Amino acid sequence: MKKVTNTLAPALQDFFTKYLPESRGLSRHTLLSYRDTLVLLLRFVAGLRNKTPVTLELDAISPEAVLAFLNHLEEERHNKTSSRNVRLAAIHAFFRYITINMPESIDQAQRILAIPFKRTVTRPIDYLEYEELHAVLSNIDRATRDGRRDYALLALMFNSGARAQEIVDLSACDLQLESPKQVKLFGKGRKTRICPLWPQTAQVLKEFVSERMLEGNTWCGQRDRVMLATLYNTGARVSELIGLTTGSVVLEGSACVHLHGKGRKQRTVPLWRTTASQLRQWLQCHPRAANQPLFPNRAGGPMTRTGVTDRLKLAVTTAAKRFPELKKRHISPHTIRHSTAMHLLQSGVDLTVIALWLGHESTATTHVYVEADLAMKESALNALRAPTIKSKRFRPTEGILAFLEGL
**Residue 131 to residues 127, 128, 136, 137, 201, Cα–Cα distance (Å):** 12, 8, 9, 10, 17
Question: How far is 121 from 135, CA to CA, in rounded Å?
Answer: 31
Q: What is the pLDDT of residue 124?
A: 62
Q: What is the pLDDT of residue 331?
A: 82
**Count of H-run helices and E-run strands, the chain:** 18, 6
CATH topology of domain 219-380: hpI Integrase; Chain A (1.10.443)
Strand ranges of the sheet holding 192-196, from the earlier edge strand across to the other edge: 175-176, 182-186, 192-196
Active site residue 321: no
- Which superfamily does CATH assign the domain made up of 130-212 to? Intergrase catalytic core (1.10.443.10)
Same topology between domain 130-212 and domain 219-380: yes
Active site residue 360: yes
**Given 84, 148, 237, 337, the catalytic residue:** 337
Active site residue 273: no
Residue 2 confidence class, pLDDT cut points 50, 70, 90: very low
**Given 18, 163, 190, 329, the catalytic residue:** 163
Read off the amino acid at residue 260. Answer: H
For the ranges 95-109, 240-254, 296-310, the one whose mean pLDDT is highest: 95-109
Does the pLDDT at position 376 exceed 70?
no
**Given 49, 334, 343, 377, the catalytic residue:** 334
Angle at alpha carbon of residue 287, lines to 285 and 292, rounded to 5°? 140
Residue 214 confidence class, pLDDT cut points 50, 70, 90: very low
Does the pLDDT at position 275 exceed 80?
yes
Bigger pLDDT: 85 or 133? 85
Active site residue 77: no
**Given 29, 118, 190, 262, the catalytic residue:** 262
Report the chain's terminal Cα–Cα distance, integer Å. Answer: 87
Q: What is the pLDDT of residue 1?
A: 41
Structural domain spans, the chain: 8-113, 130-212, 219-380
Bigger pLDDT: 38 or 290? 38
Question: How far is 175 from 198, CA to CA, in rounded Å?
Answer: 13
Quote the mean pLDDT of the chain.
83
For the ranges 2-11, 21-30, 88-97, the one whose mean pLDDT is highest: 88-97
Bigger pLDDT: 380 or 23? 23
For residues 19-40, average pLDDT: 91
For residues 189-200, average pLDDT: 83
Does the pLDDT at position 213 exceed 60?
no
Range 8-113: architecture per CATH: Orthogonal Bundle (1.10)
Instruction: Tell me if residue 272 falls in helix, strand or coil.
Output: coil
Burial of 113 per CB tally in 10 Å (0-12, 13-18, 19+): middle
For the ranges 23-37, 87-101, 136-150, 294-308, the one whose mean pLDDT is highest: 87-101
**Given 34, 97, 151, 369, the catalytic residue:** 369
Query: pTM of the entire structure?
Result: 0.47
Q: What is the pLDDT of residue 311?
A: 84
Residues 357/344, Cβ–Cβ less than 8 Å: yes
pLDDT-wise least confident of 18-22, 152-156, 284-288, 379-383: 379-383
**Given 148, 181, 237, 360, the catalytic residue:** 360
Residue 196 confidence class, pLDDT cut points 50, 70, 90: confident
Active site residue 163: yes
